[in-house]
């Protein structure tokens, strides 16, 4: 039976029909609005609590695998995963070219690409090689320092509110970012004002109502990151939120990732540790553990959207 929380108003549609969808820990719940389908974490961590995790440890969290909950955030070893991530990003940059009807080999002009939540710059690196003029925004000061030590790309340390409001970008990307934002609805409106009329928004986030997401439910790692994940979208609720912010969805596709087999098994061990132990023992020859494989568990989506003509 659904347990309703009529004292809570939906942060998107303001109706008071949320119910508990997943009880994650004793204190942490993911609630869902019965009217618009949005899901969010309740109670929300304070801004101070959120900022606590965004430092160097976010990209190299040694306790990622061995804790039951409160250390499950960030990445175990983000730098180690760079090439695999960039392999996926390259295909996404190809798709951006295709949607912009751009031929990167003959393009004289360099279109501008804004990467929101640019992390250590992996996506900007790929977009740059695709012939874009890149600009990043990142509020983790450690990440900004790391980018500045390695690349010459301009990065704004802070939020999109710190960007020049007169600037226009052909591509705006948010990869694994929207679920972390304090006000994703207002930020998507602001980004609508920063995109050029023929521009493109690329938004990657969890697909919280896909069949596998519903089957795995609250055991899914994305749901358990209560230190950082604040909002969860389905294809329908994401479309509604984007439309309300002046965007028109062009396409939504399921995205997978390329993992080193051993890292993939370590992640699966978050759900079934014993099975993984047996598998690791059985896999032979051992170098197979270093092989890269592509997996698409259908728990993540990439949304492509265009600014709606006539503004908001
Ligand atoms: Zn709602």
List, in order of start, the domains of the chain with CATH numbers: 45-256+303-307 (3.40.50.150), 257-295 (no CATH)
pTM assigned to the model: 0.90
Q: Give distance in angstroms: CA of 39 to centre of ligand 1.
A: 8
Q: Give distance in angstroms: CA of 15 to centre of ligand 1.
A: 6
How does DSSP assign 188-213, residue by residue? Answer: HHHHHTTEEEEEEEEEEEEBTTSHHH
- The pLDDT value given to residue 311: 57
Q: Give distance in angstroms: CA of 10 to centre of ligand 1.
A: 5
Q: Would you give the end-to-end CA distance of the chain in angstroms?
A: 39
Q: Give distance in angstroms: CA of 140 to centre of ligand 1.
A: 30
Q: Give distance in angstroms: CA of 192 to centre of ligand 1.
A: 21
The structure tokens listed for 55 are: 């430092």
Q: Give distance in angstroms: CA of 298 to centre of ligand 1.
A: 24
Give yes or no for a contact between 23 and 69, defined as CB atoms under 8 angstroms apart: no
Q: Give the pLDDT of the chain (312 residues) as one tens digit per residue.
A: 899 999 999 999 999 999 999 999 899 999 999 999 999 999 988 888 887 777 777 777 767 766 556 667 777 777 778 888 999 999 999 999 999 998 888 877 899 999 999 999 999 999 999 999 999 999 999 999 999 999 999 999 999 999 999 999 999 999 999 999 999 999 999 999 999 999 999 999 999 999 999 998 988 888 888 888 899 999 999 999 999 999 999 999 999 888 888 888 888 888 888 999 998 888 888 889 988 888 888 899 999 999 998 655
Q: Give distance in angstroms: CA of 131 to centre of ligand 1.
A: 40
Q: Give distance in angstroms: CA of 185 to centre of ligand 1.
A: 12
Strands 169-175 and 112-116: parallel
Q: Give distance in angstroms: CA of 89 to centre of ligand 1.
A: 32
Q: Give distance in angstroms: CA of 68 to centre of ligand 1.
A: 31
Q: Give distance in angstroms: CA of 17 to centre of ligand 1.
A: 7
What pairs with residue 108 in β-bridges? none
Q: Give distance in angstroms: CA of 29 to centre of ligand 1.
A: 16
Q: Helix and strand tally (H, E) in the chain?
A: 10, 13
């Amino acid at each position: 039976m659904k347990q309703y929380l009529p004292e809570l108003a939906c942060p998107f549609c303001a109706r008071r029909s949320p119910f508990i969808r997943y009880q994650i820990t004793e204190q942490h719940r993911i609630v869902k609005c019965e009217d618009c389908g949005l899901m969010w974490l309740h109670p929300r961590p304070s801004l101070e609590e959120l900022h606590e995790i965004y430092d160097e440890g976010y990209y190299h969290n040694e306790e990622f695998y061995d804790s039951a909950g409160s250390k499950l955030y960030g990445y175990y070893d983000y730098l180690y995963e760079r090439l695999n991530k960039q392999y996926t990003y390259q295909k996404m940059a190809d798709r951006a070219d295709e949607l912009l009807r751009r031929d990167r080999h003959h393009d004289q002009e360099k279109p501008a690409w804004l990467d929101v939540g640019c992390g250590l710059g992996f996506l900007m690196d790929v977009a740059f090689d695709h012939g874009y003029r890149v600009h990043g925004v990142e509020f983790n000061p450690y990440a900004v320092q790391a980018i500045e030590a390695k690349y010459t790309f301009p990065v704004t340390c802070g939020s999109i509110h710190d960007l020049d409001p007169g600037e226009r970008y052909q591509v705006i990307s948010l990869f694994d970012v929207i679920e972390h934002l304090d006000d994703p609805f207002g930020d998507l409106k602001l980004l609508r004002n920063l995109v050029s009329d023929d521009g493109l928004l690329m938004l990657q986030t969890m697909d919280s109502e896909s069949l596998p997401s519903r089957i795995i439910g609250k055991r899914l790692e994305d749901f358990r990151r209560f230190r950082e994940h604040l909002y969860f979208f389905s294809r329908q609720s994401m479309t509604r939120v984007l439309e309300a912010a002046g965007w028109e969805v062009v396409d939504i596709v399921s995205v997978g990732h390329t993992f080193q087999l051993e890292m993939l098994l370590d992640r699966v061990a978050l759900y079934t540790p014993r099975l993984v132990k047996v598998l690791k023992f059985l896999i032979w020859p051992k170098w197979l553990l270093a092989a890269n494989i592509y997996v698409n568990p259908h728990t993540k989506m990439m949304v492509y959207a265009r600014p709606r003509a006539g503004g908001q």
